[in-house]
């Protein structure tokens, strides 16, 4: 079976080994002649960024790098990127890296021609309609991890440095025009990053699948994404050079972000405050809290998870699915509790208050109350299922 294909759902996706060579062509398709390549300081020192710049410049495109993007990007990163974008007279963004670089690049492109403050475009109601569509620059996305799926998303997560809260900035035109998913770019990822990002993809698929509401398209995509994680994440963690596993995990990541237009839930609602306050890895935080949220939601999701367990080849019950999740976490090195993860409970009241107003909380199949959030944090800290 070939591992190369062209997809157009939800946007144009070019997936397969070696397809980074198409970067300049992708920029031209998007109408970009002077791209700002947005990445992080770790990636900017690697040969893959030098190669990407060569591909762009050899094709006659004027490219510059902005790499001042931290894990869990903050508003200051966006402001710095915008200054470089405008000073360089750029006309589009190549968002290149993991979820943080992709989100930052997308928000920089979105804000390039806006006059209102960034927080005016938080994903609340119809706030996105405040934006000037003509001021949104085109984006080409190049993921180097298989986790967030931000490459096929219409939003970016940015931490407000004044309040230490994560905000989702949304607009339909933040969807990249072209995505290049080249699994060879993920080969050098450490096993722990492969694990954390891979279970992030699982959390997206799983929460979308469990979210209430009628969206069978999203349910089908999410279920197949879970199966891909089931079949390929352990392989990708065990052998980073396994291109088949890497390709399928990139597909799972894109599928999760496509499916979660249906909704997310308490995994993300709990993980976002922890990441904002303690600067933890987002995917790994989702991985730690995952089984406790499944237990919290059991009454509402048991039947669906039994079907999902059967689909992926596990015992067809809620217990069978939960057992697989716990076994996968152990196998890829996920800490079982927040305590093992290094997260204290010294700010549980603050974390809980933040979680119930997180935009993702509303998609949880069981209403997330303040008391429920506190109980979940406590369970995740002590390992009580």
Q: Which domain holds residue 136?
A: 5-185
Q: How far is CA 283 from CA 233, 286, 369, in A?
A: 14, 5, 23
Report helix, strand or coil for 62.
Answer: coil
Question: How far apart are the C-alpha atoms of 188 and 47, rounded to whole Å?
Answer: 11
Q: In terms of domains, do 61 and 113 share one?
A: yes
Of 169, 185, 201, the last residue of a domain is 185
Q: pLDDT tens digit string along 323-372?
A: 999 999 999 999 999 999 999 989 999 999 999 999 999 999 999 999 99
Q: pLDDT tens digit string along 239-298?
A: 999 999 999 999 999 999 999 989 999 999 999 999 999 999 999 999 999 999 999 999
pTM: predicted TM-score of the whole model, two decimal places? 0.94
Residue whose token pair is 């999410």: 222
Q: In terms of domains, do 135 and 212 share one?
A: no
Question: How far apart are the C-alpha atoms of 264 and 98, rounded to whole Å?
Answer: 20
Q: In terms of domains, do 97 and 142 share one?
A: yes
Q: In terms of domains, do 253 and 156 share one?
A: no
Sign of CA dihedral 328, 330, 333, 339: positive
Q: How far is CA 374 from CA 284, 306, 381, in A?
A: 20, 27, 11
Question: How far apart are the C-alpha atoms of 216 and 220, rounded to whole Å?
Answer: 6
Report DSSP state, residue 136.
P
| CATH code (residue 95) | 3.40.50.1970
- Cα 126 to chain centroid, rounded: 23
Q: In terms of domains, do 196 and 342 share one?
A: yes
Q: Please, where are the H alpha helices in the chain?
A: 23-30, 41-44, 47-58, 75-87, 99-111, 191-210, 216-238, 243-259, 266-278, 282-296, 298-312, 318-332, 348-357, 370-382
Sign of CA dihedral 223, 166, 190, 64: positive
Q: In terms of domains, do 267 and 335 share one?
A: yes
Q: In terms of domains, do 177 and 232 share one?
A: no
Q: In terms of domains, do 29 and 55 share one?
A: yes
Contact 197, 154 (CB under 8 A): no
Of 185, 208, 243, the last residue of a domain is 185
Overall average pLDDT of the 172-184 stretch: 97
Contact 372, 352 (CB under 8 A): no
Q: Give the neighbor-by-neighbor strand order of the sheet with 35-38.
A: 5-8, 12-15, 178-181, 139-143, 92-97, 35-38, 64-66
Q: How many domains does the structure of the chain reveal?
A: 2
Q: In terms of domains, do 243 and 344 share one?
A: yes
Q: In terms of domains, do 157 and 141 share one?
A: yes
Report helix, strand or coil for 142.
Answer: strand
Work out the percent of the chain whose per-residue pLDDT is above 90.
Answer: 95
Of 185, 218, 241, the last residue of a domain is 185
What pLDDT does 8 receive? Answer: 66
Q: In terms of domains, do 66 and 147 share one?
A: yes
| CATH code (residue 275) | 1.20.1090.10
Contact 385, 291 (CB under 8 A): yes
Q: CA nearest 149: which of 103, 93, 110?
A: 103
What pLDDT does 79 receive? Answer: 98
Overall average pLDDT of the 162-189 stretch: 95
Q: In terms of domains, do 127 and 218 share one?
A: no
């Amino acid at each position: 079976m070939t591992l190369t294909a062209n997809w157009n759902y939800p946007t144009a996706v070019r997936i397969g080994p070696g397809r980074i060579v198409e970067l300049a062509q992708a920029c031209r398709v998007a109408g970009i002649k002077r791209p700002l390549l947005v990445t992080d300081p770790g990636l900017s020192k690697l040969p893959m960024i030098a190669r990407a710049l060569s591909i762009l410049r050899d094709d006659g495109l004027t490219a510059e790098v902005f790499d001042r993007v931290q894990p869990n990007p903050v508003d200051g990163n966006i402001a710095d990127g915008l200054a470089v974008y405008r000073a360089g007279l750029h006309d589009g963004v190549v968002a290149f890296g993991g979820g943080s670089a992709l989100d930052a690049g997308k928000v920089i492109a979105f804000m390039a021609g806006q006059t209102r403050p960034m927080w005016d475009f938080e994903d609340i109601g119809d706030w996105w309609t405040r934006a000037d569509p003509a001021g949104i620059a085109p984006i080409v996305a190049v993921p180097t991890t298989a986790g967030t799926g931000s490459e096929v998303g219409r939003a970016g997560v940015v931490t407000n440095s004044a309040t230490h809260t994560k905000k989702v900035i949304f607009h339909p035109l933040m969807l990249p025009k072209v995505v290049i998913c080249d699994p060879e770019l993920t080969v050098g990822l450490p096993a722990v990053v492969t694990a954390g990002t891979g279970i992030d993809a699982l959390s997206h698929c799983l929460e979308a699948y469990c979210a209430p509401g009628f969206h069978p398209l999203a349910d089908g995509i999410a279920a197949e994404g879970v199966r891909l994680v089931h079949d390929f994440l352990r392989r990708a963690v065990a052998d980073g050079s396994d291109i088949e596993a890497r390709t399928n995990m990139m597909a799972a990541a894109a599928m999760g972000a496509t499916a979660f237009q249906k909704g997310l839930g308490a995994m993300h609602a709990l993980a976002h405050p922890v990441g904002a306050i303690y600067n933890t890895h987002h995917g790994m935080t989702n991985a730690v809290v995952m089984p406790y949220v499944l237990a919290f939601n059991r009454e509402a999701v048991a039947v669906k998870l039994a079907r999902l367990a059967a689909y992926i080849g596990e015992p067809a019950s809620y217990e069978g699915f939960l057992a697989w999740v716990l076994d996968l976490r152990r196998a890829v090195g996920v800490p079982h509790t927040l305590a093992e993860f290094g997260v204290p409970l010294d700010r549980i009241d603050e974390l809980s208050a933040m979680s119930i107003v997180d935009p993702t909380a509303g998609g949880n199949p069981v209403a997330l109350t303040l008391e429920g959030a506190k109980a979940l944090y406590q369970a995740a800290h002590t390992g009580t299922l």
